[in-house]
Amino acid sequence: MQSLRAAIAERLNNPARYPRGRFAGRGIVTCAGGRRYFTCAWVLIWILRRVHQSTLPIQLWHLGRAEMSDAMRLLLEEEDVEVVDAESILHQYPAKVGGGWPLKPYAIAQSRFREVLFLDADTVPLVPADVILDWDILRGSGLLLWPDVIDLREDNPIWTTLDLEPRCCTSVDSSVIAIDKERAWNALDLAILLNEHWEEVYQFLHGDKDTFLLASILAGGGHQMIEHRPFSPDSDLVQRDPEGNPIFHHRTSSKWKLFGSNPPVVEAALTPHCEEALAELRRRWSGAIFHPPERSVVARAHEATLIAARRFHYELDGGEHRSIELLPAGVVGEGRAENEQHWALIERDGGIVLQFFSGARLAVELLRRPDGSWQGRSIGDPGFEAKLIAEREWQTWPHANGEPIRRSAGEQIAALLDPVLFAAGFDPQVRQELQSAFALLNRLFDDVPEQLASRIAALRLSRAWEVALEELARDLAASRDARKALARRDVIAPLDINSAHYNRVY
């Protein structure tokens, strides 16, 4: 990589051009990945959305699958949050993002908003925050920063490292940043650069926090900083507005814990809301970043049928039993326990295996029986036997009364038609696997052909894939119609009696 001084000189001689037309509107951006910061971000979003009724769009950025599971993403999306994996953006807008701190300026820059309120995941808004983007102090500068309780010293080597005049100045707490990217684009671009060279920069700073200040100084200044230093209760920071009123509680030393006790918020009235948020998260998330094993298209189709059934009766030897929910993204809802925190289906030896996991550890395996139940045992000693039986709603086959199954296969079809399957061009093997998967769904739902046809129109497909899927939809419709016709026949068909062989006696 180019030396830091040389890179800065090049940027100053050729300032980055703001990409007009690419960004629009306002939004809140935060970065969170992993168990600890996901928990903090959940509380932040809960307070923004449910307490302060924020209507601004929210983007949460993370770095790769190691930081975010599908289950975690779905939870956030249900709270109207856009989840962005920076690894999916870096190929288009390259940068060296070496972790959570360097991600912050990159996420701000690449978010879809022109005006951004950035909030660290471990902040708690004490009052509605949307109004910050209307403050005159921001409109006059384009970049608004908040102070720390410490100063950058004049003898800090960072000044000579960046070829800047040494000075003593207020350090920045970058948990809150307000920026109009069009007016502060050069400073933001330089902040990204400083964080790309984190090995050189962070040895003199505490992470990313003062890189925004230094980038603005390099770009010629123009930023504004709240003049009131934060309060510092129990080593946390309580940031203030231009009038000196508390506005954010930055929990630098009291980050939220999903399990266990948490110190209160400085605004006492908000503490019950934060506790409510944590209780809801404990109910809906195990606290583990779970990624299911690789599954075939057929296994995914079987998963879709279990998700549609949703509720099951789970029995263990010794008489223990409970209701259990199998939800999308491998989530176990009601009935979750230590050995049944997550689930997945895999193919093995021509059969389908239902797996339960404790965290990321395989804990239980069940095989499907001819009667539709799943039976098996735990992994390891001392072990226990287990059985899973679907609730009565699942037993709707074979339409004995001629009535259609009223559940729709829309979600299952959408899950199977992942665009990744078609990205590499037509593949006969994938086509065969899809045919098997759709055939299974076609036995359980009455709208599979129509749902498939609808999805075909919405996908970007090669002509070969389009023809193959349209043909498959026609075959499924014929099979479905034949099955429904059979279901409408009498359970016992009238006998065609040959009078030459039988005498009618009544």
Residue 289 included in any domain: no
Residue 169 included in any domain: yes
Instruction: State residue 98's pLDDT score.
Output: 87
Burial class from Cβ neighbours inside 10 Å (0-12, 13-18, 19+) for residue 142 reads buried
Kindly report, residue by residue over 283-340, the tens digit of the pLDDT.
Answer: 999 999 999 999 999 999 999 999 999 999 999 988 888 999 999 999 999 999 999 9
Residue with tokens 């060296």: 96
Q: Which two tokens stand for residue 393?
A: 């709603």
Kindly report, residue by residue over 20-49, the tens digit of the pLDDT.
Answer: 999 999 999 999 989 999 999 999 999 999
Residue 465 included in any domain: yes
Do 340 and 427 lie in one domain? The reply is no
Q: Hey, which residues does 361 pair with through a beta bridge?
A: 358
Do 229 and 260 lie in one domain? The reply is yes
Instruction: State residue 231's pLDDT score.
Output: 96
CATH code at position 234: 3.90.550.10
Residue 44 included in any domain: yes
Residue 292 included in any domain: no
Sign, Cα dihedral of 254, 260, 266, 272: positive
Do 330 and 467 lie in one domain? The reply is no
| Backbone torsions φ then ψ of 247, nearest 5 degrees | -135, -35
Checking if the pLDDT of 493 tops 50, the result is no
Do 126 and 227 lie in one domain? The reply is yes
Q: How confident is the model at residue 498 (pLDDT cuts 50, 70, 90)?
A: very low
Q: Which two tokens stand for residue 108?
A: 């701000």
Mean pLDDT of 444-462: 84
Do 313 and 275 lie in one domain? The reply is no
Checking if the pLDDT of 422 tops 90, the result is no
**Stronger pLDDT, 189 or 459, i.e. the higher one:** 189
Cβ(235)–Cβ(252) under 8 Å? yes
Average pLDDT for the chain: 90
Instruction: State residue 420's pLDDT score.
Output: 76
Radius of gyration of the chain (CA): 29
Q: How confident is the model at residue 502 (pLDDT cuts 50, 70, 90)?
A: very low
Do 85 and 151 lie in one domain? The reply is yes
Quick count: other Cβ atoms within 10 Å of Cβ 428?
9
Question: Best-predicted range by mean pLDDT among 53-57, 397-401, 500-504?
Answer: 53-57
Do 310 and 364 lie in one domain? The reply is yes
Checking if the pLDDT of 212 tops 90, the result is yes
What does each C-alpha distance from 201 to 5, 62, 193, 205, 261 come to in angstroms? 11, 22, 10, 7, 36
Q: How confident is the model at residue 16 (pLDDT cuts 50, 70, 90)?
A: very high
Q: Distance between CA 1 and CA 18 in Å, rounded?
A: 24
Instruction: State residue 184's pLDDT score.
Output: 96
Instruction: State residue 169's pLDDT score.
Output: 96
Checking if the pLDDT of 203 tops 80, the result is yes
Task: Look up residue 322 and give its amino acid.
Answer: R
- Whether the ω angle into residue 398 lies within 30 degrees of 0, i.e. cis, is yes
Do 167 and 22 lie in one domain? The reply is yes
Kindly report, residue by residue over 360-411, the tens digit of the pLDDT.
Answer: 899 999 999 887 889 999 998 878 999 999 875 444 434 434 444 456 787 7
Question: What is the extent of the structural domain holding 482?
Answer: 410-488
Q: Which of 339, 369, 394 is the last residue of a domain?
A: 394
Q: Which of 394, 419, 435 is the last residue of a domain?
A: 394
Residue 494 included in any domain: no
What does each C-alpha distance from 410 to 326, 388, 413, 478 come to in angstroms? 18, 25, 5, 19
Checking if the pLDDT of 89 tops 90, the result is yes
Instruction: State residue 455's pLDDT score.
Output: 83
Instruction: State residue 346's pLDDT score.
Output: 96
Q: Hey, which residues does 366 pair with through a beta bridge?
A: 354, 376
Quick count: other Cβ atoms within 10 Å of Cβ 181?
22
Q: How confident is the model at residue 1 (pLDDT cuts 50, 70, 90)?
A: low
- Reference 397, options 494, 308, 281, 284; nearest CA is 308
Q: How confident is the model at residue 486 (pLDDT cuts 50, 70, 90)?
A: low
- The separation between the first and the last C-alpha atoms of the chain, rounded to the nearest angstrom, is 99
Q: Distance between CA 323 and CA 307 in Å, rounded?
A: 14
Q: How confident is the model at residue 63 (pLDDT cuts 50, 70, 90)?
A: very high
Q: How confident is the model at residue 488 (pLDDT cuts 50, 70, 90)?
A: low
Checking if the pLDDT of 229 tops 90, the result is yes
Q: Distance between CA 372 and CA 394 in Å, rounded?
A: 10
Residue 484 included in any domain: yes
Q: How confident is the model at residue 160 (pLDDT cuts 50, 70, 90)?
A: very high
Q: Are strands 361-368 and 115-119 parallel, antiparallel or unpaired?
A: unpaired
Do 334 and 371 lie in one domain? The reply is yes
Checking if the pLDDT of 473 tops 50, the result is yes
Question: What strands lie across the sheet with 246-250, from one edge to the other?
Answer: 123-125, 246-250, 237-240
Quick count: other Cβ atoms within 10 Å of Cβ 401?
8
To 10 degrees, what angle do helices 428-442 and 297-309 make?
A: 20
Residue 260 included in any domain: yes
Sign, Cα dihedral of 204, 208, 214, 215: positive
Do 245 and 376 lie in one domain? The reply is no
Torsion, CA 313, CA 315, CA 321, CA 324, rounded to 10: -40
Q: Which of 279, 305, 328 is the last residue of a domain?
A: 279
Total tally of structural domains belonging to the chain: 3
Q: Distance between CA 438 and CA 452 in Å, rounded?
A: 9
Do 71 and 214 lie in one domain? The reply is yes
Do 167 and 306 lie in one domain? The reply is no
Interior angle at CA 5, CA 3 and CA 6, nearest 5: 65
